Amino acid sequence: MYTFSNKLKMFSIALIVIGAIGVVYGFMNSHKSLDDVKTMLAHEAAHHGGGHDDADLHSGSEVHGENTHSGVEHEVSEHHSDAHAEHVQHQLSNRPWSALYVAAFFFMMIALGALAFYAIQIASQAGWSPVLFRVMEGITAYLLPGALIVLGIAVASGTLGHYNIFIWMDPDVVAHDEIIANKSDYLNLTWFTIRGLIFIAGWALYRHFARKFSIAQDTAEDNSNFKKSFRIAAAFLVFFIYSESVMSWDWIMSVDPHWFSTLFGWYVFASMFVSGITVIALVTVYLKSRNYLDFVNENHLHDVAKFMFAISIFWTYLWFSQFMLIWYSNIPEEVTYFVSRFQDYKLPFLGMVVMNFIFPLLMLMNAEYKRMSWFVVMVGIVILAGHYIDIFNMIMPATVGDRWFIGIPEIASVMLFAGLFIFVVFTALTKAPLLVKGYPFRKESEDFHY
Amino acid sequence: MEASKVIHAIYTDDDVLMSAVKKVRAERFHIEEIYTPFPVHGLDKAMGLAPTRLAITAFIYGLIGLTVAVTMMNFIMIEDWPMDIGGKPSFSYIENMPAFVPIMFELTVFFAAHLMVLTFYLRSRMWPFKNAENPDPRTTDDHFLMEIPVSGDEEVLENLLWDSGAVEINLVDKAH
């Protein structure tokens, strides 16, 4: 049995406290008066020598679907700079919301990716991985709280907040935007919440029963729990691939309600899958270094690292497929998505391709490197940072535009949810033995040799 | 070229063969070669063979393929007959690069795969019209053959091989 060391517990609580303070500070600091914003803009204009030209401003407001400019013949005058300042003011107040949402989603998706990986291992009756099942079950414990937090933040941004993440929640925007108005049968707060709750309920139910059967199998005489677990894993995977796809449209793609991509669900899936697998590797290496998993050896690590390598390439394939078709056809309403990313997010957008593709490709290509735990940890940390930036790039351009920065709100949000994640996961790990004793493939997994 | 004697020990099971290899090596006999009907997982490590360098050649071939793709597409689409790609007539390789990525990827894979196979054949001394080196046709069906050069105490070696589960042991002259 694993005991949650006091040191790690204190570390996670410290992360939560420091993160919470930073998040509160971010929210308090985000309400700027219009005059403050104007002063700031004037200051910036002086610095940059010109700053924002009209084209920039227009593309920014188009992404938001805020039709403050259309229809009104506006002279470039006092009125114009007022509208611009209001726009920037709104972006500034969006930032702590978005930062919190990105971090919450990122840690939720780790747990969801690990759950999908776990279900695949069971449904495919994999022989190498059962020694890692309890690690995976520990990680998926974060799914229920994590997903409820994500949905909670989304709903709060449209009720408590001022439509800070999803502009389609703002009735004023919908009234003036025909495209969003046409989608309002689907994109409305009630139906959004119900869908979210259905997905979370489905995932949490599978996780609950898979865990229950897994623990029951430890002491069972026959394989009936294993068989039940196999059946619900197959059913869950069918539910998962639909619900994950719709979830990614709802929770991420709808921040740009004018834009859509048909492979978005797959793309988000690749990101969550590789993040989940990477965290499985990191937690395994941590527990092994604390002398817990003595039945896990470098052969198991090798296989997990192979998945990190393969799914990193799979992620790139989907990222590029989405990009290339839109780049090639160059249709204005589609390409604006990438224009805003290339104009304002060049470093994170291209940087993540280096972190999520080129780095793991070159580092994890060699078989020997995949068997060295410190090496896998190092690559894993880069991959996780890369996929945080991936989610950052999905949300931020729509909510804060060019007003992005990785500063206190972003780092504090990551710390807050990292602390919560560590606390929930390692608490769950103490609840059951770390080896699935009665699992039929346990022996095969222990003797696994690549 | 001198003629030397070798022992051909025949096995009928890959697991028996694996444990036999470990025993023979533990007794410090040198295994010259093993002929098997299918690749036996972990046999190279058990025999103490040096790790293959095929992966390094594959990486180099991949880089060559990538270079060929870039050079070729640059010549065809940018220099020789400049193309307006996707309504963006920039006539610059780097700006049109997304359109060439599938070709760059495919040629990388094509070169790596084909040249690696050719390298593997040549390294294994297999080329057209080459006579098989296989000493016993049964190793292409369901038998495993271990070849050990004899140096003096063949009695000990034969007993060891019988103990390790060999079904047949032949002492043959091998012309070098």
Give residue A74's pLDDT: 45
Same domain, B21 and B81: no
**pLDDT band, very low/low/confident/very high, at B2 (cuts 50, 70, 90):** low
The reply to whether B133 falls in a domain is no
Cβ atoms B85, B77 nearer than 8 A: yes
Do the Cβ atoms of A323 and B87 come within 8 Å?
no
List CB contacts (< 8 A) between A328 and chain B: 85-86, 98-99
Measured distance CA(A58)–CA(A67) in Å, rounded: 10
**pLDDT band, very low/low/confident/very high, at A78 (cuts 50, 70, 90):** low
Give residue A75's pLDDT: 47
- Distance spanning both ends of chain A, measured CA to CA: 28
* B42 interface with A at CB cutoff 8 Å: yes
Across the range A409-433, mean pLDDT stands at 96
For chain B, how many structural domains are there in total? 2
Do the Cβ atoms of A328 and B86 come within 8 Å?
yes
* A329 interface with B at CB cutoff 8 Å: yes
Is the pLDDT at B1 greater than 50, yes or no?
A: no
- Average pLDDT for chain A: 90
A375: CB partners within 8 A, 6+ apart: A363, A369
Across the range A157-185, mean pLDDT stands at 91
Beta bridge partners of B148: B7
Give residue A48's pLDDT: 64
CA-based nearest distance B86→chain A, Å: 5
Across the range B32-54, mean pLDDT stands at 90
CA-based nearest distance A245→chain B, Å: 26
Is the pLDDT at A68 greater than 70, yes or no?
A: no
Query: What single letter denotes the amino acid at residue A440?
Result: P
Give residue B176's pLDDT: 54
Give residue B173's pLDDT: 83
Cβ atoms A280, A114 nearer than 8 A: yes
**pLDDT band, very low/low/confident/very high, at B5 (cuts 50, 70, 90):** confident
A45: tokens are 């204009």
pLDDT digits (tens, 9 = 90+) for A348-396: 999 999 999 999 999 999 989 999 999 999 999 999 999 999 999 999 9
Across the range A317-338, mean pLDDT stands at 93
Regarding pTM above 0.80, the answer is yes
* A368 interface with B at CB cutoff 8 Å: no
Cβ atoms B40, B176 nearer than 8 A: no
Same domain, B69 and B97: yes
Do the Cβ atoms of A328 and B101 come within 8 Å?
no
The reply to whether A135 falls in a domain is yes
* B86 interface with A at CB cutoff 8 Å: yes
Give residue A65's pLDDT: 43
* A323 interface with B at CB cutoff 8 Å: yes
Q: A211: domain range?
A: 101-446
**pLDDT band, very low/low/confident/very high, at B172 (cuts 50, 70, 90):** confident
List CB contacts (< 8 A) between B86 and chain A: 327-330
The reply to whether A360 falls in a domain is yes
Q: Name the percent of chain A lying above pLDDT 90.
A: 78
pLDDT digits (tens, 9 = 90+) for A174-233: 999 999 999 999 999 999 999 999 999 999 999 999 999 999 999 988 999 999 999 999
* A291 interface with B at CB cutoff 8 Å: no
For chain A, how many structural domains are there in total? 1
Same domain, B58 and B118: yes
The reply to whether B43 falls in a domain is no
The reply to whether A11 falls in a domain is no
Sheet holding B33-35: strands in order across?
B33-35, B144-149, B3-11, B168-175
Give residue A38's pLDDT: 85
The reply to whether B150 falls in a domain is yes
CA-based nearest distance A179→chain B, Å: 27
**pLDDT band, very low/low/confident/very high, at A67 (cuts 50, 70, 90):** very low
Do the Cβ atoms of B98 and A330 come within 8 Å?
no
List CB contacts (< 8 A) between B53 and chain A: none
**Whose CA is closest to A389, among A369, A367, A363, A411?**
A411
The reply to whether A126 falls in a domain is yes
Same domain, B33 and B59: no
Beta bridge partners of B4: B174
* A320 interface with B at CB cutoff 8 Å: yes
List CB contacts (< 8 A) between B98 and chain A: 320, 323-324, 327-328
The reply to whether B161 falls in a domain is yes
Give residue A60's pLDDT: 43
Q: Identify which has the larger pLDDT, B114 or B132.
A: B114
Is the pLDDT at A72 greater than 50, yes or no?
A: no
Give residue A49's pLDDT: 54
Interface of B with A in 108-147 (CB under 8 A): none
Across the range B31-37, mean pLDDT stands at 91
Same domain, B157 and B119: no
Give residue A70's pLDDT: 42
pLDDT digits (tens, 9 = 90+) for A117-142: 999 999 999 999 999 999 999 999 99
The reply to whether A273 falls in a domain is yes
The reply to whether B12 falls in a domain is yes
Across the range B26-35, mean pLDDT stands at 89
Q: B29: domain range?
A: 3-37+142-175
Same domain, B60 and B99: yes
Same domain, B58 and B109: yes
Same domain, B58 and B119: yes
The reply to whether B68 falls in a domain is yes
Across the range A237-241, mean pLDDT stands at 96
The reply to whether B134 falls in a domain is no
